[in-house]
Amino acid sequence: MFFKKENQSDMNESKKDIKKKDFRIKPYIYDFKGAITMTIRVLTNKEGPQISKHIYGQFAEHLGRCIYEGVWVGEDSDIPNNKGIRLDVVEALKQINVPVIRWPGGCFADEYHWKDGIGPKEDRKTIVNTHWGGVTENNHFGTHEYFHLLELVGADAYVNGNVGSGTVQEMQEWVEYITFEGESPMANWRKENGSEKAWEMKFFGVGNESWGCGGNMRPEYYADLYRRYRTYVRNYTDKPVYKIACGPNVDDYNWMEQVMKIAAPYMDGISLHHYSLVDGWTNKRPATNFPEKEWFSLIDSAKKMDELITKHSTIMDKYDPDKRVGLIVDEWGSWFSVENGTNPGFLYQQNTIRDAMVASLTLNIFHRHANRVKMANIAQMVNVLQAMLLTEGDKMIKTPTYHVFDLYKHHQDAELIDTYGEAKTNTDFTVSKKDGQVAVSVVNYNIDGTEEMEFDLSDFDISDSEAWIVAGDKMDAHNTFENSEVVAKTEFKDFSVENNKLTVTLPAMSVATILLKG
């Protein structure tokens, strides 16, 4: 083993500067080919923040084929279903331990009037989805169907309320309808519609993208409106509703500043939206058949999430130094041009190994900010943007992003482990512990060439291990309905454990999780 000082130019610095410099040494190992491998010191005995399972949340909007066809097929469908909810999708979501599903939007939330979506289906009002494709919806998927989906999947509720076109009374009555167990007009109405027992609603969003499609509001105006509306999001049980304010779009730091200044004491969380783009909003690029430069430009856009969370958290710290208010990244993921031949308003796109890289890097960033980021919801769950699943009639396929979520489910509610040492260029990692096990997830987003990483876990006595990998053989490797296993989660064997040190040799364009048992 050889050692190298952090910065050789330190020798030329003044004594004053030298006193400020960190002269910790970084260990390197030189393999037989001359390649340099960083050794990461894993501090398993040092306590870290909990990685909330809700970071692995999903987003299901009335958009394109996410709800209708993706989740809801109706009771009379030939596709196997439970009261209209398609079962193949349910089973796939259960496999990755989906913890929470945000619904009904998105932009759709601020034009959704919940009373149109309850009662006998033949009596429900049809509506035009003006945001997404201009299609007419029959409202067959409403409040009761949503909570049935949650029950089947085993997920928590995150309901987004209508501030843009709705009233305070409408919002108050919806919360009462969902959560009140006693005698009241709304509770009795719910019982008449078939749900004797109230539901638990863990999270509630007061408006969505109020700076844009949710009303084009100024931050000061929205902050006052939030204080008014959230007052009537009543806690009808001993489990308070976690109330989420509409936060900024990407790097709108003024929005965060003003809303936190005016409304911080009245919120439990505040949202943040950031999508990964290849070349900005006005020149969306295809999800497949792209040049090498677009591989890296998308990844660079995804990595901006770290800067956004850091800067927004700094503002939040001014008004919430105890970090009581959670940062809720309830829309994130890759956004490309739609697939040829599909409705532009449906935002249907293919999902490749490049998206798996985006998912891994973004989840790692959320982990590193676990003391502030308390929930995230990838956009979206089925058939829209960076989806977990794609459906076509009675067929369903799992995307590369789905398989990353499957790899990372071991980090849910685990304790983040502090590490010393940085990953090499085009690699990243995250480490957590839970139930006597340590999970190490690594990503190599080089487009060619393997990378070797070593993790020193001297404080953890390793007794057994198992591992899985998701990898692609080309930049746009993806699954289709004709070939659904091009990119899949498979057993990973190219690692070794010796003297409580883990050495991983990771191929290009791959993500792996190694589970170490103590």
Residue 337 CB: number of other CB atoms within 10 A? 14
Instruction: Tell me which of 61, 331, 415, 451 is the catalytic residue.
Output: 331
Strand ranges (E), 350-450: 373-379, 389-392, 395-398, 415-416, 418-420, 427-434, 437-444
Q: Which two tokens stand for residue 444?
A: 């190599």
> 3-class DSSP state for residue 52?
coil
Active-site entry in 209, 294, 452, 454? 209
The H or E element that residue 345 is part of is: none
Length of the chain: 518
Report the alpha-carbon distance of residue 329 to residue 242 in Å, rounded.
15
448: number of Cβ within 10 Å: 9
Estimate the crossing angle of helix 168-179 against helix 219-231, to 10 degrees: 40
Asked, as a colleague might, if the bond just before 164 is cis with ω within 30 of 0, I would say no
Cα 35 from chain centroid (whole Å): 35
Q: Which residue type occupies 517?
A: K
Structure tokens at 4: 């190298």
Cα–Cα distance, 52 to 156 (Å, whole number): 13
Task: Select from 355, 363, 508, 331 the least CA-distant residue to 432.
Answer: 363
Report the C-alpha gap between 508 and 498 in whole angstroms.
24
List for the chain the helix, strand, coil content (%; round to 5).
30, 25, 45
User: Could you please report the per-residue DSSP string of 162-191?
Assistant: --SS--HHHHHHHHHHHH--SSSHHHHHHH
* Centroid of chain to Cα 65: 20
Bridge partners of residue 516, in order along the sequence: 438, 465
Looking up tokens 């040092």, which residue turns up?
46
The amino acid at residue 233 is: V
What is the spatial distance between Cα 372 and Cα 475, in angstroms, rounded to a whole number? Answer: 33
Is-catalytic flag, 331?
Answer: yes
Determine whether 209 is an active site residue.
yes
Q: How far apart are CA 28 and CA 37, in angstroms?
A: 6
CA distance 427 to 478: 21
Peptide bond into 386 cis (omega under 30): no
Residue of 259, 367, 273, 343 whose CA lies nearest to 59: 273
User: CA 230, CA 375: separation in Å to the nearest integer?
Assistant: 19
Q: How far apart are CA 27 and CA 325, in angstroms?
A: 39
Please list the active-site residues: 209, 331
